[in-house]
A and B are shown apart, each in its own frame.
Chain A
Amino acid sequence: MKRVVITGAGTINALGHDVVTTLRAMSEGLCGIGQLEFRDVDRLSIQIGGQIKDFAAEGHFNRQQMTLYDRFTQFTLMAARQAITQSGLEFSGDLAARAGVVLGTAGGGVSTWDDNYRAVYEEGKNRVHPFVVPKLMNNAAVSHVSMEYNLKGPSFTVSTACASSNHAMAQAFQMVRAGAAPVMVTGGSESMLCFGGVKAWEGLRVMSRDACRPFSANRNGMVQGEGAGVFVFEEYEHARLRGAEILAEVIGFGMSSDASDIVMPSKQGAARAMAGAVHDAGINLDQVGYINAHGTGTAANDKTECTAVADVFGHHADKLMMSSTKSMHGHLIGATGAVELLACIMAVRDGIIAPTIGYEEFDPECALDVVPNEAREAKVEVALSNAFAFGGLNAVLALRRA
């Protein structure tokens, strides 16, 4: 089995338009959540989110690309450009033929659906732009990354709601580890912050109207975010021989299905995914120093996740740190694991643990060290990144300091 390392990272999210800005914001405990700005927002009962502001696609893409790229594809390409540039890789010949792209998204081109349903239903138009289908399809982002960077190996989109990115990255990890591909571009993207996207979520009544406060006793729901995270996963020897900078090593993953409920989380399912990642990585439980929690800020998730951590880690659960960066960037749904992996890289590489901000009241059902409100310096060898999706599909990744 090959070793797998990360040699490039890119992102755009509510905290920043690149990795450096995002990690600085996380280490300063900044909040990217604010008033949503888009058409008809006044008809929503939930009007806050981790929306990307000051982003003009026009400066980055030409006219033809603009007509073909939904916002989720634009985010993907912004993040992919950063990640691939950082890696220093250029794809040609055999490398191009074998390297691929696996990305996660839950909704794909949600705003393209929204805009065009509005046109035909509300405005009564009988004609839509010919690129509606190639814009909205969930694999559009993968295909455009593949075309832009000449990536011709195994490429596809993974869609498992809030675990999409983690499942995608686990898949890319497996391919590199198994020797099926020397390099995989992976991560995820989401852009649901439009009228129809948020209206759909309102229906579930799990959204907070004021803030995302994971693990805090007064938490009152999740807050949506948007954006993308993209990484270059590379076979270790391939990276070493060309002298690439290694950000972290990916050492394992665990996946599980609750097989119980379409929305309620399960302690057993979450625990099996975490234990599976630790087992796959071949490490001891006490080597895990940090967990980037799924930590949505809902009553159900946070207490279930804390109990699952306690079950898996036993006494060590009281020693490890676990934070939810969703308190800062919001819940990026299918992209959330990708952006949250950045916090894990910061933990193992820089020794900085991103905080759970908005934490106000201790909850005895979440009695772990959730790194409340302020970042902390600590030496961490291994970090886990949790993602537990609606539908009970769980995926956990394990990273180690390079």
Chain B
Amino acid sequence: MDVKTKVIEIIAEQAVLEPSDVTMDSTLESLGIDSLGLVESIFAIEETFDITVPFNANAPEESDFDISCVATIIAGIEKLVAEQK
């Protein structure tokens, strides 16, 4: 399973939606994922791909990880997975 499909699955589960309801331009807010849901998603992503996501909930804009929409999240994770290999 590729990174994109798996990340969308994780986000969909958190949002209690079907993966088909999660589009690349969906934002966490539009999906109804709050701050606790976000850290829980990041935890699930880290566990799934065995990576460390550089995200600080206190200063999201300073983190080297763009969470503005699903597409940027996937891009960030693909980069981390590639770096790890």
Chain A interface (Cβ < 8 Å from any Cβ of B): 67, 127, 129-131, 134
Smallest CB separation, A136 vs chain B (Å): 15
Smallest CB separation, A255 vs chain B (Å): 38
Contact at B46–A130, with CB atoms within 8 Å? no
Smallest CB separation, B7 vs chain A (Å): 17
Number of interface residues of B (CB under 8 A): 7
Pick the residue among A127, A131, A134 that contacts B46 (CB under 8 A): A127
A-B contact pairs, 14 of them (CB 8 A): A67-B40, A127-B43, A127-B46, A127-B47, A129-B40, A129-B43, A130-B36, A130-B39, A130-B40, A130-B42, A130-B43, A131-B36, A131-B40, A134-B36
4 nearest CB pairs, A to B = A130-B39, A130-B43, A130-B40, A129-B43
Provide the bound-state CA to CA distance between A134 and B47, in Å. 20
Smallest CB separation, B4 vs chain A (Å): 22
Q: Is the interface of B mostly helix, strand, loop or mixed?
A: helix
Provide the bound-state CA to CA distance between A175 and B67, in Å. 47
Chain B interface (Cβ < 8 Å from any Cβ of A): 36, 39-40, 42-43, 46-47
- Chain B residues whose CB sits within 8 angstroms of the CB of A127 once the complex forms: 43, 46-47
- Chain A residues whose CB sits within 8 angstroms of the CB of B47 once the complex forms: 127
Q: Is the interface of A mostly helix, strand, loop or mixed?
A: loop
Smallest CB separation, A90 vs chain B (Å): 27
Query: Which of B36, B46, B47 has the most chain A CB atoms inside 10 A of its CB?
Result: B36
Provide the bound-state CA to CA distance between A134 and B36, in Å. 10
Provide the bound-state CA to CA distance between A130 and B38, in Å. 10
Smallest CB separation, A131 vs chain B (Å): 7
Give 12 new A-B contacts, CB below 8 A, not counting A127-B43, A131-B40. A67-B40, A127-B46, A127-B47, A129-B40, A129-B43, A130-B36, A130-B39, A130-B40, A130-B42, A130-B43, A131-B36, A134-B36
